[in-house]
Chains A and B, each alone.
Chain A
Amino acid sequence: MMVESRIRNFLLSILAVPVAGCASFSGMPKPVLNIAAATTIPSDLQPDTAIMSLKDKTLDEQRLLRNRIIAVYVSAIDARYAEFRRLLAREVRGGNLGLDVAALGLGGLGSLAKGSANELAAASTFLTGSRSSLNKELYFEKTLPALIAVMDANRFKARGAILSHLRDPVDIYPVELAYADLANYELSASIDNAVQQLTTEASKKFEAEQSLYASLTASCDPDDKTEQVWGGINNAVYRLAGHVDPDTEPTAFPGTARPQDLARVATAFTGNTYNPATTQAEADRQAVAITSAIRGTCRVDQLNALISAAQLKVE
């Protein structure tokens, strides 16, 4: 009887565990700002009303209205995002922990209730099995910080793009464009996009590793003529990266570097797209990528063709 009572109590506790799990672990403090208040947009700032009211306003008044729209919508989007992150953390942590505790509890009771040990062990296995079937959830939990980091980066980028226009006159950055950018800002916080971006990054890394492997295994046999052209390319490329001679390192960036030209040459030589470098290290990496890309090309005519295509000035 005592065992039955303990089983009944325990079964009740199993029911309580997921509920407790869901209610307790959000991973961040409850927001002080009321989500409803923060996301309520005044009627005069709704797109239709605001755009219709523009015709009666001077350019300065339009600019003030546009900036007010941006401020209100950015705050509302931020409040929604904070809520979204809070719920995301709560869902993942609450759900998993509930199953963990339930499985642990049943296993423990199996050793206490001797007569029912097999049934309880089976129940424990069932729950642990459910837990295994939720491996994808666990995986999600592990990757969540990376996904959030990507979403945050996307949001910062979109937010920066909007805020950089606050001082622009309305003929350069009109209200309609501001609404479009605000919509992009809202959409930048998407888990689907973040997953896709992470996958793309992973494939790029794989391609880079693959090309590194290829460069280590497939080389050509350079002769004196190859040496001359390779040397010319190396010096031209490192000049674009800001180097003036082999024995000294550049002291400041960009200095004599020409990041735009370097990125163009890197793109032409490697087949990958490069943006202009913003640091010396980045410029040097692009230079290395260029010289690595031609490591397997020893024929002078092929090298000259690459030089022409990249519009690289080789002395």
Chain B
Amino acid sequence: MAVKFEPYEKTKTFDQLKTQVRANEALNGKLTGIERQGDFTIATFKTGMSYPAARRITLAIVDDDNSAPDDGFALVCRGTGWDAGKEVKILASRKKA
């Protein structure tokens, strides 16, 4: 399976980022990482079949590096990104099967 990268401009709000990362996961396959690079938030996807709506990716802004996902959700990755020009820490999780 191939890996695909998707850049999101730093001016996007976190809500916009969430929507677009979800859409890109639907199009490309599993999200495997998210990281701030320069003026972009770069999401990495492992290409393949996308998840049904009930198990699509959930992104949340967190305060520290050790934040855990909500109950019933599995950790996908931790990373960094932009929320309307402000750097934030991001936790990506998915509902458990």
Using CB atoms and an 8 Å cutoff, list the residues of chain A in contact with chain B: 216, 219, 221-224, 226-228, 230-231, 233-235, 238-239, 243, 245-247, 249, 284-285, 287-288, 291-292, 294-295
Contacts and interface: CB of A to CB of B under 8 A. Distances in A.
A227 B22 contact: yes
Contact of A227 (B5, B7, B23): B23
Given A243-B49, A287-B47, A234 B23 contact: no
A215 B28 CA distance: 13
Given A238-B48, A246-B51, A223 B19 contact: yes
Nearest to B30: A246
Interface residues on B, range: 20 to 34
A288 B88 CA distance: 31
29 contacts: A222-B20, A222-B23, A223-B23, A224-B19, A224-B22, A224-B23, A227-B22, A227-B23, A228-B26, A230-B24, A230-B27, A234-B26, A234-B29, A234-B49, A234-B50, A235-B49, A235-B50, A243-B48, A245-B49, A246-B29, A246-B48, A246-B50, A246-B51, A284-B47, A284-B48, A287-B47, A288-B2, A291-B47, A295-B27
Interface string B1-20: 11011110000000010011
Query: Which 9 pairs show the lowest CB-CB distances between chains A and B?
Result: A231-B26, A222-B23, A227-B23, A230-B27, A238-B49, A246-B49, A234-B50, A230-B26, A243-B49
A225 to B, nearest CB: 9
A180 to B, nearest CB: 43
Nearest to B6: A219
B27 A291 contact: yes
A235 B26 CA distance: 8
Nearest to B2: A288
Contact of B47 (A222, A224, A226, A288): A288
Given A246-B49, A284-B2, 19 more contacts: A221-B20, A222-B24, A224-B23, A226-B23, A227-B19, A227-B22, A230-B23, A230-B50, A234-B26, A234-B27, A238-B49, A243-B48, A245-B49, A247-B97, A284-B48, A285-B2, A288-B2, A291-B47, A294-B27
A285 B56 CA distance: 24
Contacts of A230: 23-24, 26-27, 50
Interface in B44-74: 47-53, 56
A172 B38 CA distance: 66
Contacts of B19: 222-224, 227
Contacts of B28: 234, 291
Q: Give the one of B23, B28, B51, B52 with max A CB within 10 A.
A: B23
A249 B46 CA distance: 12
Contacts of A285: 2
A39 B1 CA distance: 50
Contacts of B29: 234, 246
